Amino acid sequence: MDPNPSTYADSSPAEPSLADEAVPVPAAAGPGRIVLAATPIGNTGDASARLIGLLGTADIVAAEDTRRLHRLVQSLGVTVAGRVISYHEHNEATKTAELLQQVRAGKTLVMVTDAGMPSVSDPGFRLVEGAVAAGLTVTAVPGPSAVLTALALSGLPTDRFCFEGFLPRKAGERASRLADLSAERRTMVFFEAPHRLESMLRALRERFGAERRIAVCRELTKTYEEVIRGTVGELLLWAENNEVRGEIAVVLGGAPEQAPGTPEDHVAAVNELMAKGIRLKEAVAAVAEEVRVSKRELYSAVLAAR
């Protein structure tokens, strides 16, 4: 990290830049505001005019890594006139109150992370949570998203999906998390480190089988962008035989839709819920909705089995 991560200020004179042509950002009502600003996930050409304008005009820029922010603004030709504060997972708990106080005092605070939208698998959630509790204004400058980019390129269904972030590193915890997702029908998006991709794919094969459809998206929007599509078994073989590098997003197809079966097939599931203290009617309703059978017929089947 930055050897002096608390602050830095760029006091060099303003120069003509892309910021001069940026769309003006209107002031928000209230004493101050927080702006969550999405940054490029690889290609700096994806930076929006609003992001460029804010970086050049905000009172405070809270950055996950001040060095990466400095490289970004240099590539964009932006001069940061405001105060830059390092704000990351290791100091969120101590820095949040200070930043909220600055917003109360009327400052415009822009939050940026290394790539993509703050608070989505990145620092920022504590800041938003605190601002909402304090009644402060929070808005966003949308932009590049590794989650949505990977989903769109995967070739898998996009009508319903969920984001699962990084799986636990420990094998037992990872297996438990995947077990919770075993019946998930929505397309799932994960992040993974390149050196753990092979073990992740092996765990996916053990839980979901070798034939589940999957896509591994690497270095999205960058020069060496690559999207590998196939089955879990095929991509595990690919990972075993290649040195995988770069930022990784994994998109996994949801569980295939199962035939509902007969009400009698689901009596045991109702009994399991009742054993946990759930009343008969509620247990029947929950199981019937999940497996798509008639509540009345399932209720009758449970009574008949007693």
CATH number at residue 30: 3.40.1010.10
- Please compute, for residue 126, the number of CA atoms within 13 A of its CA located in the half-sphere on the CB side: 17
In the prediction, which pLDDT does 289 show? 84
CA–CA gap between residue 198 and residue 241 (Å, rounded)? 10
On whether both 205 and 82 belong to a single domain, the answer is no
Q: Token match 């009400």: residue?
A: 263
CA–CA gap between residue 54 and residue 251 (Å, rounded)? 33
CATH number at residue 198: 3.30.950.10
User: Phi and psi (nearest 5°) for 281?
Assistant: -65, -40
On whether both 237 and 181 belong to a single domain, the answer is yes
On whether both 12 and 136 belong to a single domain, the answer is yes
On whether both 189 and 245 belong to a single domain, the answer is yes
Q: Residues with Cβ < 8 Å from 23, sequence gap 6 or more?
A: 49, 50, 53
In a domain, 156, yes or no: yes
In the prediction, which pLDDT does 298 show? 93
In a domain, 1, yes or no: no
Q: List, edge to edge, every strand of the sheet that includes 213-218.
A: 161-166, 187-192, 248-252, 213-218, 226-231
On whether both 126 and 111 belong to a single domain, the answer is yes
CA–CA gap between residue 40 and residue 144 (Å, rounded)? 6
Give all strands (DSSP E) within the chain, no chain letters: 7-8, 33-37, 60-63, 83-86, 108-112, 137-141, 161-166, 187-192, 213-218, 226-231, 248-252
On whether both 196 and 247 belong to a single domain, the answer is yes
On whether both 215 and 300 belong to a single domain, the answer is no
In the prediction, which pLDDT does 261 show? 78
Q: How many domains does the chain have?
A: 3
On whether both 287 and 239 belong to a single domain, the answer is no
On whether both 98 and 200 belong to a single domain, the answer is no
In the prediction, which pLDDT does 259 show? 67
In a domain, 297, yes or no: yes
In the prediction, which pLDDT does 192 show? 97
Are 251 and 154 contacting, i.e. CB atoms less than 8 angstroms apart?
A: yes
Q: Compute how many other C-beta atoms are within 10 angstroms of the C-beta atom of residue 30.
A: 12
In a domain, 257, yes or no: no
Helix (H, G, I), strand (E, B) or coil at 102: helix
In a domain, 267, yes or no: yes
In a domain, 2, yes or no: no
Residue-number span of the structural domain to which 123 is assigned:
7-143
Domain-ending residue, one of 216, 232, 252: 252
On whether both 236 and 277 belong to a single domain, the answer is no
On whether both 236 and 182 belong to a single domain, the answer is yes
On whether both 235 and 283 belong to a single domain, the answer is no
In a domain, 135, yes or no: yes
In a domain, 72, yes or no: yes
Give all strands (DSSP E) within 173-253, no chain letters: 187-192, 213-218, 226-231, 248-252
In order along its 306 residues, the chain shows pLDDT tens digits of 443 333 333 333 333 333 344 444 444 445 799 999 999 999 999 999 999 999 999 999 999 999 999 999 999 999 998 999 999 999 999 999 999 999 999 999 999 999 999 999 889 999 999 999 999 999 999 999 999 999 999 999 999 999 999 999 999 999 999 999 988 999 999 999 999 999 999 999 999 999 999 999 999 999 999 999 999 999 999 999 999 999 999 999 999 876 667 888 899 999 999 998 999 999 999 888 878 889 999 999 999 998
pTM for this model (two decimals): 0.74
